[in-house]
Amino acid sequence: MSKLRFNITMSLDGFVAGPNQSLENPLGEGGVRLHDWAFALEAWRKANGQDGGEVNASTSVVEESLANIGAYIMGRNMFGGGSGPWPDDPWNGWWGANPPYHVPVFVLTNHARQPLSMEGGTTFNFVTDGIESTLEQAKEAAGDKDVMLSGGANVAQQYLAAELIDEMELHVVPLFLRDGARLFDNLRNDPELEQVRSIEAPGVTHLKYRVVK
Amino acid sequence: MSKLRFNITMSLDGFVAGPNQSLENPLGEGGVRLHDWAFALEAWRKANGQDGGEVNASTSVVEESLANIGAYIMGRNMFGGGSGPWPDDPWNGWWGANPPYHVPVFVLTNHARQPLSMEGGTTFNFVTDGIESTLEQAKEAAGDKDVMLSGGANVAQQYLAAELIDEMELHVVPLFLRDGARLFDNLRNDPELEQVRSIEAPGVTHLKYRVVK
């Protein structure tokens, strides 16, 4: 059955972005360091149209995170649209002409916008009627494949609180951010988790959990 | 050289005790579940005078945490003394007649008390002049061996904030506590960490870090 999966990189003190996130600095102050482990990888670079990079114990984790995904869900900040109504001539997000998704992406927003078809099979769909409806539409688009929740923190918190996530992988990095977006704030309950596996890799540990329903 | 080491079990959302810690419930509401992985182990049970238990991937972690320790540091709550001045006939803490330490233990408190010698080599020393002095006394008692910081959260935060810890192991368990004592609150800076190793074990992942100085 199609699952809602969720992968995110978290500092040791629980933050997934630094303070003062903005259009200019979407990961917040100091937040970009969270992703050093991924930027170094051939598997990540290839998926994002870049050459070079390493092969190490994180490679299989990244490959697994890219496999069997039929649709993505993300918040508007992660798409790259700021807040408020879309301007008359809106830009097309952070992800360039050929975004690294290659399947339908459902962007949660309060402001309607026509779908945006990009090169390479990515279509951004803008959904204004909440997380449940977004998940339904994404699952329908994904067919037998899974839906991947990409973030950011606010959207992830909403899906966690609603207990709609089936599987979660945390990439825990040895950093303290001390402020910013804390992933596990605002939980309404404490869903039962089962540890699926942990993988040690250079500069990161990958912790995978299944939500018991 | 003698190191200050620190081991603690943390929920996935960063808590090391549940809410409403008290003399009756020192781990706070729901906090005892943090330690299920340890209670199940033969290595832990043996060190705490109990029979039975499992051998699994956590065994070597527990054995390592007990090895080469010449002294312990703990907060008064962890010793078991409540707060305020000691009563005229104070009890001797949570740990029974033969505590599982077998070396000098330095208890941080605001209230002086004579040292307390127990069976099996444990002596509780009550130190009132702060974390630096306590560490000096513990290192002197430990000789060539290491000093282990046992907790609780408040004392651990003080040592983390002062950057006096050399090595830290987090036993991360798949639980959400949502409230209580968060380990990484009140950091004053962001010490550089190096991931030493991670070990996957049933119901827990052991993450070990070295503080780069």
pLDDT for B112-168, tens place per residue? Answer: 999 999 999 999 999 999 999 999 999 999 999 999 999 888 899 899 989 999 999
Q: Which parts of chain A sit beneath pLDDT 70?
A: 81
Contact B193 A172 (CB under 8 A): no
| B70 vs B190 pLDDT, higher one | B70
From chain A, the residues in CB contact with B176 under 8 A are 184, 187, 190-191, 193
Give the residue ranges of DSSP H helices in chain A: 36-39, 42-47, 59-66, 76-79, 130-142, 153-161
pLDDT (0 to 100) of residue A92: 81
pLDDT (0 to 100) of residue A4: 98
pLDDT at B87 over 90: no
Nearest to B142 by CA among B91, B44, B68: B68
- Phi/psi of residue A133, each to 5°? -60, -40
Query: Which residues on neighbouring strands pair with residue B201, listed in sequence order?
Result: B204
pLDDT at B82 over 80: no
Q: What is the pLDDT of residues A132-187, one digit of tens each?
A: 999 999 999 999 999 999 988 889 989 998 999 999 999 999 999 999 999 998 88
Out of B184, B194, B205, the one facing A207 most closely (by C-beta) is B205
pLDDT (0 to 100) of residue B188: 85
- Nearest residue of chain A to residue B202 (CA atoms): A195
- Is any Cβ of chain A less than 8 angstroms from the Cβ of B195? yes
- Phi/psi of residue A106, each to 5°? -110, 115
Mean of the per-residue pLDDT values of chain B: 93
- Please report the ipTM that was assigned to this predicted complex: 0.92
- Nearest residue of chain A to residue B183 (CA atoms): A13
Work out the pLDDT band at B9, boundaries 50, 70, 90.
very high
Contact A200 B204 (CB under 8 A): no
pLDDT at B69 over 90: yes
Q: Does domain A4-211 have CATH number 3.30.70.20?
A: no
- Prediction pTM value: 0.94
Nearest to B108 by CA among B87, B140, B137, B88: B137
- Is any Cβ of chain B less than 8 angstroms from the Cβ of A203? yes
DSSP codes joined into one string, B88-147: SS----TT-SS-S--SEEEEE-SS----EE-GGG-EEEEE-S-HHHHHHHHHHHHTTSEE
Domain borders along chain A are 4-211
pLDDT (0 to 100) of residue B95: 87
State mean pLDDT over B159-185. 95
Taking the C-alpha atoms of residue A200 and residue A195, their distance in angstroms, rounded to an integer, is 15
- Name residues 157-176 of chain B within 8 A of A (Cβ): 170, 172, 174-176
Q: Which fold has domain B4-19+30-211?
A: Dihydrofolate Reductase, subunit A (3.40.430)
